[in-house]
Structures are given as structure tokens and as C-alpha cells.
Structure 1
């Protein structure tokens, strides 16, 4: 269970780092250093952050950046016509990118876990409508990228 909590914290931190990088234009190494020294597992403004699985945080963050163009195109194809990713709130954009990365590249993590985790991250920042949008977009992507995980299981 501790690993699941550390992964959840890593996902939340990755989304925050992606947002920060977009807004401040900081580089990857600078953000790694900042988050690992000051955010992960520390108390900030009276809020205690959980310990995070640093390797997972680094993988999601660097993976999104390395594959951002294809990930953005995948998200754009999934979003409702007329709402390209560029029009989506920057935090929601970070959540979608991180979730899309995991669905596409981290096949060791079940798709349903990825979806639930990023819906929870969305819930930390937004209300039900935005969390529902994250759920719908990631579920649609997951059913495309990992169709086998959604096929009915044969009854015995």
C-alpha cells in the first residue's frame, strides 16, 4: 500500500511540475532539483506532502516532455471537436499529458489505475465537471491504446 501512496504522490507532483514548467519555462533538471529538494515529502505552507516514488516522478515528467508532440496529438484526437488541447486549462492539460503518457508507455500500470489516479488529481484542483472530463478523455484513450484490458473476461 505504501508504494501506491508514493506513486499517487509522484503523479500529483508530476502534474504540478508540468504546470510549473509551462508557466515559468523552467528546465527539466531545475524542476527535478526543486521538487526533490523542497516538495516531495515535505511540509509546505502547513500542508504535509506524502513521500513520492522519485523514480516514477522522474519517469512521468521526463516521459511527457520527450513524447509531448505525439501525446498532444493523441489528446487532441480524443477531445471534443473545437476544443483542442491548447484551449484547455493548463493544469488540466498537465493532467491529460501525464495520464496519456502512462496509458501509452507505462503498460506495467493497469489502465483503470491510471484513469482513477488522474481523476483523483483533477479532483484535488477542480470540481466534478473537470474530473469527469479527465475520466472521459483518459477512458477513451485507454480503450484505444489498451483495448485488451477492457475486453470482457470469459466466464468459467
Structure 2
């Protein structure tokens, strides 16, 4: 999240940010392939990611707190593209980062939006977890 925030705020090259993180932080417990994927794929897919969550916002995208925006991008990316990450894990990791770095109750906002994104991207997985049949795509909205 911090690397994505740095890219969002400073506009530095992604390869520079990635190299700085590897040089400046202890990444011995970090899945470096996953980190690389997030850092490079999220900025490349902003239009798709914004399209997933923007319709659920109660404000303009430009009015979002930068941390909330970065977290929504990351959570939405994991829900859309990282099927290897269970939807609950993707949402919970995002919420935990929101609690750590975001505004006091920002994590609640993130949870509500990402829950809706999960119902769109992972309808079968969400329904199975909740013990229900998934709604047809035309009924999801």
C-alpha cells in the first residue's frame, strides 16, 4: 500500500519505487512476486479498477482520501485479478491497512465498498461462503 501511495502522490517510476522498497525495508517476510505484481499491475489497470468501485462511492473519486483511494485500488485488484487470494482475505487485509494508515472510521467505508465489489467479481465464492445461491449477473446491480 505504501508503494502505491508513493506512486499516487509523487508519480515516481514504479521500478524506482520497487527498488527503493527493496533497499530501504526488510522484505525478508514479503512475497516479492506478489509485491511486484501489485506495484506494477494496479497502476496499469486503473480504469478497470475505478470502474469496479466508483459506482459504489458516495462522493467523487477525486474527493477520496488518497489512502482510501490506494486501498480501494489494491482491494479491488485482488478481488478482480488475484483469484488465488480468497475474497475475505483480500477485504480483511485492506481493512487492516485502513485501520493502520487511514482515517478513524475509513476502514468501515472500505469494507462496504469492497463487499459490493466482491459480490460482483466473486459472486459464486461469496454466495458459497454465505450459504446462498449466486444471483444472475443481470440481477447483481
For Structure 1 versus Structure 2, the TM-score category normalised by the shorter chain is: 0.7 to 0.9
Tell me, in whole angstroms, the C-alpha distance in 1 between the residues paired with 2:93 and 2:4.
16
Tell me, in whole angstroms, the C-alpha distance in 2 between the residues paired with 1:40 and 1:107.
27
Q: Structure 2 residue aligned with 1:52, among 30, 50, 63?
A: 30
Tell me, in whole angstroms, the C-alpha distance in 2 between the residues paired with 1:84 and 1:40.
36
Residue 118 of structure 1 corresponds to which residue in structure 2? Answer: 94
| 1:36-47 mapped onto 2 (5 Å cutoff) | 36-41=22-27
Tell me, in whole angstroms, the C-alpha distance in 2 between the residues paired with 1:40 and 1:60.
18
After TM superposition, the score normalised by the length of structure 1 is 0.78
**Would you identify which runs of 4 or more consecutive aligned residues in structure 1 move more than 3 Å?**
none
Change (3 A) 1:75 1:40: farther
Query: Higher relative contact order at CA 8 Å, sep ≥6: structure 1 or structure 2?
Result: 1
After TM superposition, the score normalised by the length of structure 2 is 0.85
| 1:127 CA drift (Å) | 4.8
Which residues of structure 2 form unaligned runs of 5+? 133-141
Aligned residue pairs: how many?
130
Q: Structure 1 residue aligned with 2:41, among 39, 63, 88?
A: 63
Q: Does 1:107 align with 2:102?
A: no
CA RMSD of aligned residues (A): 1.6
Which residues of structure 1 form unaligned runs of 5+? 1-14, 42-49
What secondary structure does 1:51 align onto? Answer: coil
**Structure 1 contact 61–98 (Cα < 8 Å) conserved:** no
